[in-house]
Structure 1
Amino acid sequence: MVSFLSQFAMSISGFLATIVLTRTLGQEQYGAYVVVLSVLAWAAIAGNLGLTAAVRKRVSEATEGNFVVSGILAQIALYAIVAICLWFARPYLNSYMEIEATSILIVMLGVSLGVNLVRAVLQGQHLVHVSSILSPVEWTIRSIVQVTLVLAGFGIAGAFAGYVVGAIVAIVIGSCLVSVDYATPTREDFRQLRSYAQFSWLASVKGRTFLSMDTIILAFFVTNSLIGVYEVAWNLASLFAIFGSSITRTLFPEMSKISSERGVDGHVSGLLRVSLAYTGLIIIPGFAGAILVGDVVLTVYGSGFETGYYILLVLTFARLLYGYQSQFMNTIDAVDRPDLTFRINAVFVAINLTLNILLTAQFGWYGAATATTASAAVGLGLGYYYATNIMDVIVPVGEITKQWLAAGIMAAVVFVGRVAIEDSLPIVLVLIGVGAVVYLAALLALSQEFRTTVEDNLPGVVSVPGFK
């Protein structure tokens, strides 16, 4: 719950900041900012090479070894190599990004790698709730600084400065909460990190491929203005997926510890079932809501952004598929089978890259969105297949179906409201609130498991009539 609420707070601060940035910078400059962030994300993969995943895994196992210090030293070395390469490639990078931003890109890379490593250590030390709090802290500080500087007239430079300041604050706070053994790490510590990272690095590529390969490819075929609209639609779709990602982060260290102590047993299978049962809790009604009112919601970002309505629908569905895929991949990684996720990731990246090039060249941003969705579907199928090879997989079809039924009831109410009442942004925002209440009430009525879960997680002094 702490993880979800933290992600929600982060998303809200980012949502509000994005509105200011798009309205102040305009589609062209905001699109340039998005392209720089996409290049940063790929540079971060080269500067990490699966290291944070390896640190999280080895620290979570509670075995002998100083994986915190060894991870820090390895991260510093990787960053230095990538930063030098970026500096020498700056003429080409600046030309691609259409902005002289390589220097700030190198600075942003350093703070990005730092905050990701701090989060990985905290999660490995079973402090997922503490790690989760860093995200809204970082994004809130980033948003405040960005909005302040952009409104003060610093333009896109203010957006970059906010990114750096927010990450630095998160690093400082997180570092104070990490438990560090200052003993000299051994050669074996580095070997164990490498043994996991040699497979997990492709997971970073896969994740980034899903998140921004379409943006990278789009930069070759469309203007920064359209990329800005596309990225807004993607961010809105990602807002619905935060609950599923919170489940992923929370369950990984628990699954990892259980499997390292007792092997792959019914407890791990049970946690996988729970993750599948609740991954769609928010994104399923979010998808239904996007169909009904997504065009109006996009207007909050400014004139012209409503053109991303159909892109929003496709990307939200892609996010739904990817959410379920992530639960399978997360479980396979947690039980120390990164070799299997390596195979899935290799196929995912190959399909995503190929389809993005082919479809984007032919159909523009609709092709990019379709490529993202298709690769998520393939990844989901492969994740399920490999998970069934190493454990008993129970897919909670009944619970997922009830979530769709509740979303259908919600959609009916919102549709009637939109048809019967004036079609404006304030009215639509009210309908969204009404829809959320209807969905929750419908799901409570339909699902005994959901009622029990809510009851079990309410404070002891609170009792909801009819739950038992």
Structure 2
Amino acid sequence: MVNFLSRLVMSLSGFVATIVLTRTLGQNQYGTYVVVLSVLAWVAMVGKLGLPQAIRKRVSEPNEGNYVVSGAIAQFGLYVVVAVFLWLARPYLNEFMGLEATWVLIAMLATQLGLIFVQSVLDGQHLVHVSSILTPVEWTGRSLVQVGLVLSGFGIAGAFAGYVIGAIVATVIGLYFITVPATYPSRGDFSRLKTYAQFSWLGSIKGRTFMSMDTLILAVFVSNSFIAVYEIAWNLASLFAIFGASISQTLFPEMSKISSESGSDAEIVELLRMSLAYSGLFIIPGLVGSALVGDVVLTIYGSGFSVGYYLLLVLTFARLLYGYMEQFLNTIDAIDRPDLTFYINAIFVAVNTVLNVVLTWRFGWYGAAVATTVSAGLGLVLGYYYASQVIDVVVPLGEVAKQCSAAGIMAAVVLVGRVLLGDTLPIVIVLVGIGATIYFSVLFVLSRQFRRTVRENLPFTLPVVAPE
């Protein structure tokens, strides 16, 4: 719950900041900012090479070893190598980004890798709630600085400064909670990190391919103003997926510990079933709501963003598929089978890259959205297949059906409200609140499991959720 609420605060602060940035910088400059962030995401992936996943896994295991210090040493070495290559390639990078920003990129990379390292260690030490709080701290700090500097006339430089400052603040706070083993790191510690990272590095590429391969390919074929619209649609779609991501991050260290201590498949199977049951809790109604009022919601960012309506629908569906896929891959990684996820990730990256190039070249941004969706669907099928090879997978189709039913009832009410009351932005915002209330109320009635989950997680007792 802490993880989810943290992601929600992060998303809301980013939502407000994005509105200010798009309206102040304009579509073209904001598009340039997005391109720089996309390049940062890819170079950060090279700067990690699966190391954060390996650190999280090894630290979570109940064994001896100083994976905090050994991980820090390995991470710093990777950063230095990547930073040197970036500086040597700065003429080409600046031309691609449309801005003299390589030195900014190097600074942003340092702060980003530092924060990821701290969060990986905290996750491994079963302090997911602390790690989760760092994300809204970063985003809120980033947003406040960005809004202040951009409105003060610093333009895109203010946006970059906010990114760096937010990450530094969150990293410093996270370091306070980390426990560093008193032993010196051994050669075996580095070896165990390597044996996991040599497979998990492709997971970073898979995630980054899903998140921004389409943006990079679009940068070749369309203007930055179109990229800004695409990125806004993607950000809204990602907002609905935060609960599923919270489940993955929270359950990984628990599954990893269970697998390392006892190897009890029954407990892991139940945790996977629960993660699948709740992965679509928010994004299923989010997809339905986007279809009903997404065109109006997009106008918050400016009149030119409403053209991203159909993109929003396709990308939200892609996030839905990807969320279920991640639950399977998260489980496979937790039981120390990164070799299996390596195969899945390799296929995903290859298919996603080829489809993005071909479909974007042929159909523009709709082709990019379809390529992302098809890749997520394929990854979901592969994730289910390989997870079934190592554990007994139980798919909670009944719970997913109840969520779809509740979303359907919500849709009927919201649609009638829009027809009768109109489709101005204030009315649509009210309808969104009403729709969310109806969805969760109906789901509460339909699903005994959802009622039990609400009862077990509330800090107080309500008569309506008393034990059945």
Contact 1:25 1:156 in 2 (8 A): yes
Q: Distance in 2 between matches of 1:445 and 1:123?
A: 34
Asked if residue 164 in structure 1 is aligned to residue 126 in structure 2, the reply is no
How far the C-alpha of 1:459 sits from its partner, in A, is 2.3
Contact 1:264 1:391 in 2 (8 A): no
Match of 2:206 in 1: 206
* Letter matched to residue 227 of structure 2: I
Match of 2:119 in 1: 119
Asked if residue 331 in structure 1 is aligned to residue 334 in structure 2, the reply is no
Contact 2:356 2:368 in 1 (8 A): yes
* Letter matched to residue 38 of structure 2: S
Contact 1:264 1:335 in 2 (8 A): no
Contact 1:451 1:467 in 2 (8 A): no
How far the C-alpha of 1:460 sits from its partner, in A, is 4.0
Percent identity between the two aligned chains: 68
Change (3 A) 1:277 1:169: same
Q: Distance in 2 between matches of 1:411 and 1:375?
A: 28
How far the C-alpha of 1:449 sits from its partner, in A, is 1.1
Asked if residue 138 in structure 1 is aligned to residue 135 in structure 2, the reply is no
Contact 2:108 2:163 in 1 (8 A): yes
Q: Distance in 2 between matches of 1:114 and 1:181?
A: 19
Deviations 1:418-460 (A, max 9, x none): 0001210000000000000000111011111111111121224
Q: Distance in 2 between matches of 1:459 and 1:35?
A: 43
Match of 1:221 in 2: 221
SS of corresponding position for 1:464: helix
Contact 1:43 1:82 in 2 (8 A): yes
Q: Distance in 1 between matches of 2:129 and 2:465?
A: 30
Match of 2:301 in 1: 301
How far the C-alpha of 1:265 sits from its partner, in A, is 1.1
- Over aligned residue pairs, what C-alpha RMSD do you find? 0.8
Match of 2:399 in 1: 399
Alignment map for 1:268-417 (pairs within 5 Å)? 268-417=268-417
How far the C-alpha of 1:103 sits from its partner, in A, is 0.5
Contact 1:321 1:377 in 2 (8 A): yes
Match of 1:58 in 2: 58
Unmatched 5+ stretches in structure 1: none
SS of corresponding position for 1:47: helix
Q: Distance in 2 between matches of 1:283 and 1:363?
A: 26
Match of 1:17 in 2: 17
* Letter matched to residue 187 of structure 1: R
Contact 1:455 1:464 in 2 (8 A): no
- Return 451-460 or 339-348, whichever deviates more: 451-460
Match of 1:450 in 2: 450
* Letter matched to residue 19 of structure 1: I
How far the C-alpha of 1:230 sits from its partner, in A, is 0.3
Deviations 1:98-119 (A, max 9, x none): 1111000000000000000000
Q: Distance in 2 between matches of 1:465 and 1:355?
A: 48
How far the C-alpha of 1:212 sits from its partner, in A, is 0.2
Match of 2:3 in 1: 3
Unmatched 5+ stretches in structure 2: none
Match of 2:44 in 1: 44
* Letter matched to residue 74 of structure 1: A
Asked if residue 191 in structure 1 is aligned to residue 191 in structure 2, the reply is yes
* Letter matched to residue 34 of structure 2: V
Deviations 1:224-265 (A, max 9, x none): 000000000000000000000000000000000000011151
Q: Distance in 1 between matches of 2:10 and 2:460?
A: 28
How far the C-alpha of 1:364 sits from its partner, in A, is 0.3
TM-score, normalised to structure 1, is 0.99
- Return 65-74 or 255-264, whichever deviates more: 255-264
* Letter matched to residue 72 of structure 2: I
TM-score, normalised to structure 2, is 0.99
Deviations 1:248-284 (A, max 9, x none): 0000000000000111510000000000000000000
How far the C-alpha of 1:39 sits from its partner, in A, is 0.3
Contact 2:451 2:465 in 1 (8 A): no
Q: Distance in 2 between matches of 1:42 and 1:63?
A: 33
Match of 1:26 in 2: 26
* Letter matched to residue 353 of structure 1: T
Deviations 1:378-403 (A, max 9, x none): 00000000000000000000000000
How far the C-alpha of 1:209 sits from its partner, in A, is 0.2
* Letter matched to residue 242 of structure 2: I
Contact 1:61 1:256 in 2 (8 A): yes
How far the C-alpha of 1:465 sits from its partner, in A, is 5.6
* Letter matched to residue 427 of structure 1: I
SS of corresponding position for 1:423: coil
Match of 2:256 in 1: 256
How far the C-alpha of 1:183 sits from its partner, in A, is 3.0
SS of corresponding position for 1:225: helix
Match of 1:147 in 2: 147
Q: Distance in 2 between matches of 1:260 and 1:409?
A: 44
Q: Distance in 1 between matches of 2:403 and 2:467?
A: 18
Deviations 1:46-95 (A, max 9, x none): 11100000000000002111000000000010000000000000000000
* Letter matched to residue 5 of structure 2: L
SS of corresponding position for 2:422: coil
